[in-house]
Amino acid sequence: MNVDIDTNLIDNLIANSRDSNLELRYEINQLIELYTTQQKENAKLLKENTFFKKKFDKRKNKNSDNENKDKIIEQQSRLAAMGEMIDSVAHQWKQPLNAISMMVELLKDDYLDGEVNEYYIDELDATVRMQIEHMVTTLSEFRNFLRPSTKNDTFHMSSVLDTTQILMKDELISQNIHIEQYIDENIKIFGNKNEYKHLFINLINNSIDAFNERKIKVRNIKIDIYRKENKTYIDVSDNAGGIPEHIIDDIFKANITSKAIGKGTGIGLYMSSKIVTKNNGKISVQNIKDGAKFTIVLQDAII
């Protein structure tokens, strides 16, 4: 009920009621009491509305800050990945470019020695084409990975892992990493393929950092992808010594890292958890013998 009565009108009613009969005076007093009560209720509601508005604005600003923070962290993660990927492209192109350069030098000498014939040219052509095809494939995979994409598709998980190992080939070789994988080749899921590549890269890089931090020589990473009770499970484990107990419960939070000061940002695992959550899944970690095991459970997997 919304009552808005001018105070002068109230004063006039009070003055006139003194000269009125008892019944009219009673009704006027009832009206005044109703007005006074309603004014108190309005004041109370206004106070409550102000309180809840402040709470809502605070929560809205907090949510907005969280969204902005996630966008900044995501951008940092992508820029870091881009730098690593560009460096890896340079490394992976170095070998085939050196091979082609060497073949050109040999071609000159073999021509002068009279060894160049049709068979020689066919062999040279096939070898050069193979090296170029490798370079084109590598570049294509890197370009697709670095290209922002919001498109979701249905794809085989095995193809994501194969591409991840192409992207990380040079790093895996130089770091002496052995990856053992057990994958149900039939498993498909619906989601953003690039995000899953990023997920695997983050988890593998996390293991590599731990191997280097602890100077472990024999370096094994095991990846299991399987179906169980209409869910897809992804287990990524290593023998890198595990995660310190004092941070294991917070390892997926932003800026949490087990690495020495200046050696890690804590972005990788935070972004991994964001990717999994975005794709309707859950990620957890536990220490096992000699290392750690990350387990991802996807609810809406498709076979």
List pLDDT tens digits, range 284-303: 999 999 999 999 999 865 55
Task: Point out the domain boundary residue: 44, 68, 92.
Answer: 68
The whole-number pLDDT of residue 83 equals 62
Choice between 197 and 22, residue whose per-residue pLDDT is larger: 197
Task: Examine the domain organization and report whether 50 and 173 are in the same domain.
Answer: no
Determine the residue type at 25: R
Q: Which residues of 4-24 are buried (b: 16+ CB within 10 A; e: fewer)?
A: eeeeeeeeebeeebeeeeeee
* Residue 93 included in any domain: no
Under a CB-based contact definition with an 8 Å cutoff, are residues 218 and 239 in contact?
Answer: yes
Count of CB atoms situated within 10 Å of the CB of 176: 11
Q: What is the mean pLDDT of residues 101-120?
A: 86
Count of CB atoms situated within 10 Å of the CB of 285: 21
Distinct helix (H) and strand (E) counts, the chain: 7, 7
Tell me which residue range forms the domain holding 40.
7-68
* Residue 30 included in any domain: yes
Task: Point out the domain boundary residue: 68, 85, 103.
Answer: 68
Q: CA 129, 85, 192: angle at the middle one, nearest 5?
A: 95
| Weakest mean pLDDT among 53-62, 88-97, 135-144, 269-278 | 53-62
Task: Examine the domain organization and report whether 60 and 198 are in the same domain.
Answer: no
The residue among 300, 78, 77 whose CA lies nearest residue 191 is 300
pLDDT digits (tens, 9 = 90+) for 162-174: 888 887 887 888 8
The residue among 234, 221, 235 whose CA lies nearest residue 290 is 221
Task: Examine the domain organization and report whether 55 and 187 are in the same domain.
Answer: no
* Residue 212 included in any domain: yes
pLDDT digits (tens, 9 = 90+) for 167-196: 788 788 889 999 999 998 889 988 888 888
The residue among 58, 222, 229, 87 whose CA lies nearest residue 146 is 87
The structural domain count of the chain equals: 2
The whole-number pLDDT of residue 48 equals 66
* Residue 256 included in any domain: yes
* Residue 143 included in any domain: no
**Could you tell me the pLDDT band of residue 211, with boundaries at 50, 70 and 90?**
very high
Task: Point out the domain boundary residue: 68, 99, 114.
Answer: 68
* Residue 26 included in any domain: yes
* Residue 251 included in any domain: yes
Reduced to 3 states (helix: H, G, I; strand: E, B; else coil), residue 204 is helix
Task: Examine the domain organization and report whether 57 and 161 are in the same domain.
Answer: no
Q: Which residue has the tokens 């990023």?
A: 198
Residue 278 belongs to domain with CATH number: 3.30.565.10
Under a CB-based contact definition with an 8 Å cutoff, are residues 232 and 187 in contact?
Answer: yes
